[in-house]
Amino acid sequence: MGKGASKARSLWRLEPLRIGWSGSHIRYGQAFRLRHLSTGHYLALTEEHGLVLQERKKSDTNCLYIIINLSCHVATHKTFGKQKACLHAEGHMDDGLTLQRCQHEEARAVRIIRNTTVLFSHFIKGLDSIGGDKNVGVSLPNFDEVLQTLDDLIEYFKQPDSELEHEEKQTLLRSLIKPSLIKGNRNNCTQFSRNLDWLVSKLERLESSSGILEVLHCILIESPEALNIIQRGHIKSIISLLYKHGRNHKILDVLCSLCVCNGVAVRANQNLICDHLLPKRDLLLQTRLVNDVQSMRPNIFLGVAEGSAQYKKWYFELVIDQGWGGNGVGDDLYSYSFDGLYLWSGRIPREVASINQHLLNSDDVVSCCLDLSAPSMSFRINGQPVQGMFEDFNIDGFFFPVVSFSAGVKVRFLLGGRHGDFKFLPPAGYSPCYEALLPKEKMRVEAVKEYKRDHGGVRDLLGTTQFLSQASFIPTPVETSQVI
């Protein structure tokens, strides 16, 4: 529409009676109807009034349609036959029609206006009937719906700065409409998250960066899946906007939403932002980095009792699908962990050696060997033993496999049997953990919901929040001394 949109009196939509294929253009000799988008009425030709607008009920295909011939001199109406349409050399608003193809954004805005007009017309008629003398039952629209519509209209028609050109105003309005459409709607946010590359590339345009930042912030809040798609280049592009726009609160909101997902730290994004932002800028995103991570465990509990005939050596594996976070398990004296470089317990790291030593990353397989008879606990990385282990720890309580990770990390428990075949052969004498599952119990992996509790700055990793009885099998020997 361009700058002419400010002078346009109405918008029309062409409705072909028959569509050859989707997206086809109107051709000569094809019958169609003209619909006024603001009112929803159709253009008709009558003997009394000539060209008029009729309601939809009166404008069926049996009494009204228009055909444009190649000569452009004749318009055919089924009821009244051929009518001459004389075209002037110069166009006049009172005797000529100019057909323009409406953009999707303008058509959508018109539909919003039409729906709002219907709502308020019905509302006003209801109020008028209530004030009359006759006691007539009137069904008024929902009052909350009217208030929400008012709020939407005020936000929708908020005008940009008057100094901007009309084209710039249209671009800005379109970019601000998108956040209102996807805010609070996870399905729409998920669809936008698939085009993050295109979305971040639009940030380079100064006139649309404000609206794009709103869209990006909505996506990161409503669609956690987008955090798995965010790349290093995306974060650098967002940080670069601080040098162009200064301390823009929208940019800082986007960066903060990259750091935390559902209350769980996204360590990779946190470290990247700190490396590229804090050394060069005196900006404070948060008072501290978020340390909370998610811990998951299967419902398998391993214990030992005097005289028990159950296995005392257990084995399981953990496959890291994407990334790794090493905070959580190993933060107190009752949990033991391995992050690829260190053995952790009570927040104290102990460096150990292994073949091709590295921090855990994608496709790594971590094996845990638990021996309750010693007691001892050792780890393996991709089948290779780690030169170090835990020994002489308390075995009064239950032990269970657990993994702690930050947002965006995918892991798999391999517990043996149909619960995940091992990638590597367990050491001799060790049994798969799935054999400790109680009879009639269904295997499940659940979150350790209460996994952190602060007491004077000390963090404890809790196990199950319910009391579990010891389920050890202790056989009773049969007395055979008196058997003859």
Q: pLDDT tens across 442-465, in order?
A: 888 877 655 444 555 554 545 444
6-10, 128-132, 326-330: range with highest mean pLDDT: 128-132
- Structure-block tokens of residue 228: 């798995």
What is residue 72's predicted lDDT score, i.e. its pLDDT?
39
Candidates 104, 85, 110; CA nearest to 96 is 85
Q: Which residues pair with 384 in a beta bridge?
A: 381
Estimate to the nearest angstrom the gap between the alpha carbon of 203 and the chain centroid. 20
At 204, the pLDDT band (50, 70, 90 cuts) reads low
What pairing do the DSSP bridges indicate for beta strands 12-16 and 445-447?
Answer: unpaired
Higher pLDDT, 241 or 427: 427
How many Cβ atoms from other residues are within 10 Å of residue 424's Cβ? Answer: 14
Residue 399 carries which DSSP code?
B
Question: How far is 237 from 225, CA to CA, in rounded Å?
Answer: 20
Q: What is the pLDDT of residues 432-445, one digit of tens each?
A: 888 888 777 888 88
Query: Are 161 and 198 a contacting pair, CB within 8 Å?
Result: no
Question: How far is 22 from 20, CA to CA, in rounded Å?
Answer: 7
At 208, the pLDDT band (50, 70, 90 cuts) reads very low
What mean pLDDT is predicted for residues 105-124?
69
pTM of the model: 0.40
| 336-361 exposure pattern, b = at least 16 Cβ within 10 A, e = fewer | bbbbbbbbbbeeeeeebebeeeeebe
Give the SS3 label for residue 251. Answer: helix
What is residue 369's predicted lDDT score, i.e. its pLDDT?
92
Q: What is the pLDDT of residues 278-318, one digit of tens each?
A: 554 444 444 344 445 567 777 777 777 776 767 777 777 77
What single-letter amino acid sits at 482?
A: Q
- Structure-block tokens of residue 297: 């465990």
35-39, 317-321, 360-364, 404-408: range with highest mean pLDDT: 360-364
CA 130 → CA 81, 135, 147, 456, distances in Å? 47, 8, 20, 66
At 379, the pLDDT band (50, 70, 90 cuts) reads very high
H or E stretch at 411:
strand 410-414
Mean pLDDT of the chain: 68
78 pLDDT more than 70:
no
Residue 431 carries which DSSP code?
E
